[in-house]
Amino acid sequence: MFESLGLLAGSPWIYALVGTSVLLDVFLPVLPSGVLVIMGATAAAGSGAAAGRVPHDVPDILALTLCAATASVLGDLVAYRLAWRDTSRLARAIARSRRLSVAQERLGTALAQGGGALVVLARFAPAGRSVVSLGAGAAHSRARDFLPWSALAGLSWAAYSVALGYFGAHWLGAGWLATGVSVLALFAAGSGAAYLMRRPRTAAETATTA
């Protein structure tokens, strides 16, 4: 399987597959876009190391990073624009969900104050990207406030995912062990991001209750 992935990683199809998955997972968070990025980086690093030409693989790794980051920003922009134009249905969905309502309120405040680090954290959290992109559009947040943070979030997530696959392959070998450890590290980052996103809200609610 990894031999096949190594061949795929050396062809343009790996970028098309990763780009499509990352672009669409803002609407379908169940898509394994992060796993695909890791597997592509693992296969590319593993095939290069086996051939004794690791430095030659670096442009492919960089291209994979840029592909995933660009697709992430484009997906965010599409979701943002759709939510901006058709807010009635989304507004009703947000109103029915306390979690979405709080997330939208916090996002609007963060962007207004220039604290878009929430957008970066949300990119790592499960389904966080969807909530933030749709919430920013529904709240009619300015594109110049949202998109720079979206770009930073996409690049950070892509670089982290590619680095996991690339260095995992060199440290543990291009096999299932390296892929499994890298995927667990990606999920750990997502859990940590979700915790950090919830933590300020919990503190605020505790202070209000007191």
Angle at the Cα of 10 from the Cα atoms of 151 and 159, rounded to 5 degrees: 25
**What average pLDDT is seen over the chain?**
77
Q: What confidence tens digit (pLDDT) does each residue in 16-74 have?
A: 889 999 999 988 888 889 988 998 888 777 655 544 444 444 448 898 999 999 999 99
Three-class SS state of 53? coil
The reported pLDDT for the residue numbered 105 is 63
**Residue 180 structural domain:** 2-209
Number of domains, the chain: 1
**37 with 22: CB under 8 angstroms?**
yes
Q: Kindly compute the dihedral angle of the four CA atoms of residues 156, 160, 163, 167, in this order, to the nearest 10 degrees.
A: 150
The reported pLDDT for the residue numbered 91 is 57
